Amino acid sequence: MKQRQLGNTGLRVSAIGLGCMGLSYGYGPATDKQAAIKLIQSAVEQGVTFFDTAEAYGLNEELVGEALKPYRDKVVIATKFGFRHGDVTAGLDSRPERIREVAEASLKRLKTDRIDLFYQHRVDLTVPIEDVAGTVKDLIQQGKVKHFGLSEAGVATIRRAHAVQPLAALQSEYSLWWREPEQEILPVIEELGIGFVPFSPLGKGFLTGAINENTQFDSSDFRNLVPRFAEESRSANQALVDLLGDIAASKQATRGQIALAWLLAKKPWIVPIPGTTKLHRLEENIGAANVQLTPGEVSNIDAAFSRITVQGDRYPASLQARVGR
């Protein structure tokens, strides 16, 4: 698979990464451990070198660490700090002592001697971002961390953090049904030389066409709490999936591959991290790196999708308050 560089810090990764959260957290029951390890290792064997996890994803770091141990020097592992006790329901905590504590614990769980990319999971307004960036800078100088990143941060925070410790990447949601980063975020990170890592590039599965208004989610699936996944919203948003299907058919690709290829065609420093628990979906996602969209095709897709109004907020109010700060 082709490689891409995230920002000006020299961090090179595969054009498509693997978001590992869903293997053990967020989307229902955890995947069988051996099956999850097989999927992660299959990704490596197919050219994926960029893997995303977090302290807050349950046992995910342990899983990723075990799966990638045989390939450690060939891959880039990203993880995150920022929640009190590593629990997303317990509130934010990016105090310097907590960041250092998470770094040590994550190194052990990941079975490694360095974290390649260490993100602040969500901006903690009680801790100056300069203190956060300074703490990660210290960890970089100690060799425990290689690169610094933010997730779902706003423009002012990005600039302030970057001035203390250059950011390799910003990770935020971006896809054909959530294009808000185009307004302010993408121009600023391009100006500063920061890479962009879109999570949920397939709209949490919706853009693949595998979900419709009749889909029933597991009781532990967080999409049950997301307004955009309410039954009436899914019905209203079906127009997006239908349009994507028409485009995919014309390119002899799948809906998911077009959604990912669109992101790749936007900027050379964008690296999406689709997640999956299924080997055939992994192979499909990886195949998106070979789908070429011309500038004209990208413009046509932009225009067509701009004519459709997406129904439903992407987060419930309590979670929306944590983004863009």
Residues with a catalytic annotation lie at: 57
Sort 201 into a burial class: Cβ within 10 Å, 0-12 / 13-18 / 19+: buried
Tokens in use for 37? 């390890």
* Cα(83)–Cα(93) distance, integer angstroms: 5
* Cα(190)–Cα(182) distance, integer angstroms: 11
Tokens in use for 44? 């490596």
Which segments of the chain are extended strands (E)?
A: 3-6, 11-14, 18-19, 50-52, 76-81, 115-120, 145-151, 167-173, 195-199
* Cα(67)–Cα(320) distance, integer angstroms: 33
